[in-house]
Chains A and B, each alone.
Chain A
Amino acid sequence: MLLCDFHIHTTYSDGAVGLRRTVDLFGQAGFDVIAITDHVVNGDNPLGKLAHRFRYSVTSDNFYRYMDHVKEEAERAWDKYGMLIIPGVEISKNHLTADQSAHILLLDIKDFIPACWSYEEIFLTAREQEALIIACHPHYMSDMSRDTLFLWNNRAKYARHIDAWEIANRDDVFNVVSLEKYPHVANSDFHRPRHLYSWKTLLNCEKNILSVKQCIKHNKGVAITLFRKSEEMKW
C-alpha cells in the first residue's frame, strides 16, 4: 500500500515550511506519494485581497514558476526517496461565512485556474486539464475558523463534478462523507512540521500519477490511516 498525502502547503502560500524542506520532511518519513497543493485564493473580496497582498496565494504571475519548482523537487524526491510528487493547487473560495466558503484540491493541474471563477467553470477547466478534483474539509472541523461548507451544502448540485471528498483532514474525521458513500481520501492539510502526524491515505496501486488518480477516482483499494510518531515509545 502506498502511504499518501494529497493536501500540502508550502511558503508559496500560507505554509510555514519551504518547498524543499517540506519534500524532505515527507521523504524522510517514508511517504510514497504526496501532492503539493498551495492555495490559489479568490481575489474578488477583501479576504482574498488580503491573501494576495501578503502573498498567501499562488497567482497567475508566479503559477508557472511554482509548477517548475514542484517538478524540479519531484525529480529530486523520486531519485532520493522513491517518492512521487503530484503538482496541484487548492482553489480557495474564502468568504466571511462558512456556508459560502469552499476549498477544492486540483491534483495534476497543468495551467492556472483563478479561484474567482464560478464553480462550473473551475470544474470544467480542471476536467479539461485531466486534473483530479477533491473537495477539502467539507464539513465542520474542530478549528471552526476554517469551516468551508458550501460544497457539502450544495452536494446535490456539485457532487457529480467531484472525484473524491476528504473524509479526514488533519485530526478531524467527517463521518457524513462515509454516510453518503462518496469516494474518499484523508489528508494532513500540512502547514507546519507537526501536521505531518495526522490522517493519511493508503492506496493499493502503482506508483505513478495516472494510477494514483484512477485509484482515487474509482475508490477501490483506498484506506485511511492515522499516522503517528509514537513519541513515548522512544528511548
Chain B
Amino acid sequence: MVIFWIFAVIAMVGLAGYAGQVAAVIKTVRAGSKGTVAGTPPGQAPEEDFCPPISILKPLKGLDDNLFDNLESFCLQDYPAYEIIFSIQDHDDPVCRIVRKIRAKYPHREISILIEKCGDGLNPKVNNLIPAVRAARYEHVLISDSNVLVGRDYLRAVASPMKDDRVGLVSSLIRGVRGRTLGSVFENLHLNSFIAGSVCLLDRFLHMPCVIGKSMLMRKGDLEEIGGMQAVKDFLAEDYIIGKRMHDSGRRVVLSNYAISNVNEYWGLKKFINRHTRWGKLRWKIGGVKYLSELAGNAVFISFLPLLLSGFSAMTASLAIGVSAVKMAGDYYLGRRLDTGMNPLLYLFVPVKDIVIGCIWFVPLLSSSVVWRGNRYVIGDNSLLAPYPESGLWTLSTRVFNALRTREA
C-alpha cells in the first residue's frame, strides 16, 4: 500500500509537470515569439515584415523520409532574397542526386551544392556546417536540418524577431508529422508532447534557452563572436551550446511560434530507441541531476510501476489507466494545437511509447558512449565528445558487450 501511494503521488506530480508543459505550448502558440508582434496567429508572419537576405545552410547526409519535398519547400519561400547552400561531405552520397534535381527544377533560385570533406571536429553535422558557414554570402544564416518541411511563410516568420538587434538566435517549435510505422508514430508522439512541451516550458516559464538545431537563425557576426562553428565542433549537442553561449553573451534567444514539421514516416522502432537513447545521454550530461526529474515527469511510466511491484489490483490498475487516459487526452489536445494531422486512434499508443521512453531513461545512467560512423565516442560534460579510450575498464566492458552481441547474432 505504501508503495502504491508513493508512486501515485509521484505520478500526480508528473501530471502537474505535464500540465505545465501543455500550458507552455499553448502560451507559445497563442502569444507568438517573444520579440514579435504579440498575438500573431501560428504560422502567419507579422504585419510588419523584416526581410534581410538570408543564407540557408542545409547540412545533408544520406536520405530522409520525404527528402525531396523537404528540400523543395525551401525553394518555394515567399521571401525577397535568400540563397540555399546544400552542404555534403561525400560525392557518392545518395543525397547528391536529389539536390542536383532540385537545383535543375529551380534554376532561378540561388542554390549552391557544396561538397567538401571536413574533418575538423568530432561532430559530423558541425563538420558539414563549417564549410557552409564559410561559403554563406549573407549576414543572416539559417541552419536547417534535412528532415524539416516548412510552409512558404517560414522565412518571413523566423526573420521577423531579428529586427530587434538584441535578438541573437531564433529557433522554432517542432512538430512530428506523417508517421506510417510504429517507430514513426512513437517519434511523432514524443516530439509533439515531451520535446515540444519541454522546449516551451523552459522558454516560457523558466526563461532558459533550449535550442533544437532543426531551425536556427543567427547573424554571422554573432556566431563568430561566440567562437563560430569551430567552437562547437566537438560537442554532440552543438545546438544547445550555441544557444547557451548566445544567451550568455547577452543576446536574446527567441523561440518562434512558427511550427516547423519534422517528417518521420518510415522509422523502425530501433531508430526511435537509438535517437532517444542518444538524446537522453545528452540531457544527462548537460542537465546532471535535473535529468532525474524526467523520470518523475513520465507519469505513465511511474503509474505502471505499482502494477509491476505490487501486482494487479483495482487500485493499481485504476492508477495506470487513469494516468494513461489523462496523458492520451493531453497529447491529443497538444497534437490538435500543433496541427499535426495525426489520426486520433494513434494516441492509443501514448502509454506504450511512454513506457518505452521510461525504460530508455535508465540507459544514460549506465553508458555514456555513442557510436558515429563506426567510431565510438565518450560524451563528457555539456556533451563534449572525446574518442573512446583504447585501454582500461571501459574498453573491457565494451569488448564483452560486443562479443556477446556478436555471439547472439
Q: Which residues of A contact B (CB under 8 A)?
A: 3, 27-30, 32, 81-82, 193-194, 227-235
Q: In the docked arrangement, what's the CA distance between A234 and B372, Å?
A: 8
Mark B45-73 against chain A: 1 for CB-CB distance below 8 A, else 0: 00000000000000001111111110000
B271 lies within 8 A of A81 (CB): no
Q: In the docked arrangement, what's the CA distance between A30 and B123, Å?
A: 27
Q: In the docked arrangement, what's the CA distance between A229 and B124, Å?
A: 17
A3 lies within 8 A of B61 (CB): no
Q: Which residue of B62, B69, B104, B123 is within 8 Å of A230 (Cβ)? A: B62
Name the distance in Å between B115's Cβ and chain A's nearest Cβ.
15
B68 lies within 8 A of A27 (CB): yes
Name the distance in Å between A199's Cβ and chain B's nearest Cβ.
14
B374 lies within 8 A of A232 (CB): yes
A229 lies within 8 A of B68 (CB): no
Name the distance in Å between A230's Cβ and chain B's nearest Cβ.
4
- Closest A-chain residue to B270, C-beta based? A231
Task: Write out the residue numbers on chain B whose beta carbons fall within 8 Å of the beta carbon of A3.
Answer: 97
Judge if B266 is at the interface, Cβ distance under 8 Å.
yes
A232 lies within 8 A of B373 (CB): yes
B105 lies within 8 A of A82 (CB): yes
A229 lies within 8 A of B63 (CB): yes
Q: In the docked arrangement, what's the CA distance between A229 and B94, Å?
A: 8
8 A–B contacts, CB within 8 A, in A order = A28-B69, A29-B68, A30-B98, A82-B101, A82-B105, A229-B62, A232-B374, A234-B62
Task: Write out the residue numbers on chain B whose beta carbons fall within 8 Å of the beta carbon of A30.
Answer: 63, 67-68, 94-95, 97-98, 101
Task: Write out the residue numbers on chain A whose beta carbons fall within 8 Å of the beta carbon of B69.
Answer: 28
Judge if B190 is at the interface, Cβ distance under 8 Å.
no
Which B residues between 362 and 379 are near A, CB-CB below 8 angstroms? Answer: 371-374
Name the distance in Å between B375's Cβ and chain A's nearest Cβ.
11
Q: In the docked arrangement, what's the CA distance between A28 and B93, Å?
A: 15
- Closest B-chain residue to A80, C-beta based? B68
Task: Write out the residue numbers on chain A whose beta carbons fall within 8 Å of the beta carbon of B372.
Answer: 232-233
Task: Write out the residue numbers on chain B whose beta carbons fall within 8 Å of the beta carbon of A234.
Answer: 61-62, 64
B266 lies within 8 A of A193 (CB): yes
Q: In the docked arrangement, what's the CA distance between A186 and B374, Å?
A: 28
Q: In the docked arrangement, what's the CA distance between A234 and B123, Å?
A: 11
- Closest A-chain residue to B59, C-beta based? A235
Q: In the docked arrangement, what's the CA distance between A66 and B371, Å?
A: 46
A28 lies within 8 A of B66 (CB): yes
Name the distance in Å between B178's Cβ and chain A's nearest Cβ.
11
Given A27-B68, A30-B94, A81-B68, does the pair A233, B124 have CB atoms closer than 8 Å?
Answer: yes
Q: Which residue of A81, A194, A233 is within 8 Å of B373 (Cβ)? A: A233
Q: In the docked arrangement, what's the CA distance between A193 and B95, Å?
A: 18
Task: Write out the residue numbers on chain B whose beta carbons fall within 8 Å of the beta carbon of A227.
Answer: 94
Name the distance in Å between B342's Cβ and chain A's nearest Cβ.
17
7 smallest beta-carbon distances between A and B, as pairs? A30-B98, A30-B97, A230-B62, A28-B68, A235-B125, A193-B266, A229-B63
Task: Write out the residue numbers on chain B whose beta carbons fall within 8 Å of the beta carbon of A193.
Answer: 180-181, 266
